[in-house]
Structure 1
């Protein structure tokens, strides 16, 4: 193990380490990261639910008349629709919170932190 430490040597942070961008406070920087995370989760949830429904449709089409396969496909379609309703409902609740408390949670645009 000491050989590895000698081979690697001292590790120093790069010059001009990452810092909070000019014109932003610590709270706005963290809020931007949280906003991006919420938007990412909503987008991924919508995409996964939509793809789930598409695969359920393929499962339904290729079931070949088998009742068990058809009922499984319908169950998968229902769960995909429930997923879409949950994602859209979460987005609606977030928008209501934004309207009542005059804050920007997801309406501020998709922002990634910059160096």
Structure 2
């Protein structure tokens, strides 16, 4: 009895795994789009966790001025990082809107390209 045959196969959702096919530039464009999306999402999640831990540091500072100051500093840097991440996403969306280029919204597309 072969258990792997009994379970069947698992295939990824369409559009998530780029196929090189006849045009390698499609593969590279999809790889860049997925990389940018992964980078933005992971950076936001890491920054959110950083800011939450900074909040816990503030809560458990115990009234010590040095610990409170350190926690506030960490909170400020976390919020600044979040603003930078959201700003970079907004800049990418503005470039997509004004120039008609799709970077993270769909297939990588440059107007006038083949």
TM value normalised by structure 2: 0.74
* RCO comparison, higher one (Cα < 8 Å, 6+): 1
- Which runs of 5 or more structure 2 residues have no equivalent in the other structure? 1-18, 108-114
Alignment correspondent of 2:41: 43
- Which runs of 5 or more structure 1 residues have no equivalent in the other structure? 1-18, 110-115
The match for 2:56 among 58, 71, 75 is 58
Per-residue deviation at 1:52? 0.6
Q: Is the 8 A contact 2:20 2:26 kept in 1?
A: no
Alpha-carbon distance in structure 1 between the residues aligned to 2:23 and 2:102? 16
- What count of residue pairs does the alignment treat as equivalent? 89
TM value normalised by structure 1: 0.73
Alignment correspondent of 1:103: 101
Deviant stretches of 4+, over 4 Å: none
Alignment correspondent of 1:8: none
Asked if residue 70 in structure 1 is aligned to residue 75 in structure 2, the reply is no
Question: What SS does structure 1 have at the residue aligned with 2:62?
Answer: coil
